[in-house]
Structure formats: C-alpha cells, structure tokens
Amino acid sequence: MAMNRRQTLAFGAVAAIAAATGAGVGVWRQPGAAEIGQAGLPPDFWTMSFTRPEGGELALKAFRGQPLIINFWATWCAPCVRELPEIDRFAVETAASGVHTVALAIDGPTPVREFLKRIPLKMPVGLAGLDGSELSRQLGNAQGGLPFTVMVAADGRLAQRRLGETSRDELNRWLSENKSR
C-alpha cells in the first residue's frame, strides 16, 4: 500500500517528535552540577593508577588538591579523535596555572601507541582499558559512551561532566565556574 504525501509528512512529523522527545529525556536524565557535586568520587579514586603508553605509571594521587580534567577516549571513537587535539591544546595552555588534564584510553595498548605515533599528545595519557570504562561509569557515565570528560575541582569535588565532544571554550568555562567555589 503506497503512502500519499500527507501520510508521509504526518509519519515524518511523528518520527521527529519521537526523536526530540527521546533526546529531551536523555538530557533531562543527566544530573545538573549540584547533583554531580553530591555524587562525589569513588572511594578509591586517588589510589588509582594507569600504565602510560611510553612506560611508567599515571597516578591520580599526583593531582590531588589541584583541578583535574579527565578525558575518556578510544582510538576507534571518531568524536574522541576529533576533540583530542583541542583538549591537548587546553592542557598545554592551562598547565602553568596548576590545572592538570589527562587522557584515559579505553582501548588496548597497541592501538593507543600507534595512534600516539601519528598524533602525539603533550598531556599525560593512561592506558585505562576496562578499568577506565568502570571508572567513567562511577563518575556518572551511565550510558558508557565516549568521549566522556569530567572535572574534579581542587577541593576533590566532582564538579563537571560531559558525555560527547567538548571544546576548549567549555573546559575554560568549567574552570571559571569552579574558581568561585
């Protein structure tokens, strides 16, 4: 049975409304900054460490008491790959002011090392693998999607989080919003 033009337009409108409603529910379910601050960090957060691709350890305790931005990413995640250079520039620009930015790869060591040969990053990178996926969930990434970025304020409070691509402007806004607290 062929649809006429009116039926096609009506079907398209219903589909658009359903998609918008689904997106709205997804945004509505994301907790606001106040709720994030109440959630806190996992009890063992500051004891966690991750192997670095070049060798050695990336220990989170080294950043305690200072603003910390953590970006969860993977080599196979196109939005992650798009945002990494901008996050890396942010990390370089803010390092002198005591802000630390790290990238935790939810990926295997070999793909990460190959990626970093092509696109070197100045910010510290940790090989987080499945432990990183679990950490991102504990920090509020209920969907388990990537990229996922969080800010831990200097006072140890989980201050911000973002599922999806972020930008230097957004990260700078996070810093300015959390300086006054």
Cα distance between residue 159 and residue 13, in whole Å = 38
Residue 31 clears pLDDT 80, i.e. is over it = no
> Same domain for 77 and 138?
yes
Please state, for a pLDDT cut of 90, what percent of the chain lies above it. Answer: 75
pLDDT in tens, 38-71: 458 999 999 999 999 999 999 999 999 999 999 9
> Same domain for 70 and 132?
yes
**What's the whole-model pTM score?**
0.79
> Same domain for 12 and 95?
no
Number of domains in the chain: 2
Question: According to the model, what pLDDT value does residue 40 have?
Answer: 80
Tell me the residue range of the domain where 139 lies. 35-179
Residue 73 clears pLDDT 80, i.e. is over it = yes
> Same domain for 68 and 14?
no
CATH code of residue 77: 3.40.30.10
The DSSP letter of residue 163 is: E
pLDDT in tens, 113-171: 999 999 999 999 999 998 899 999 999 999 999 999 999 999 999 999 999 999 999 99
Cα distance between residue 93 and residue 181, in whole Å = 22
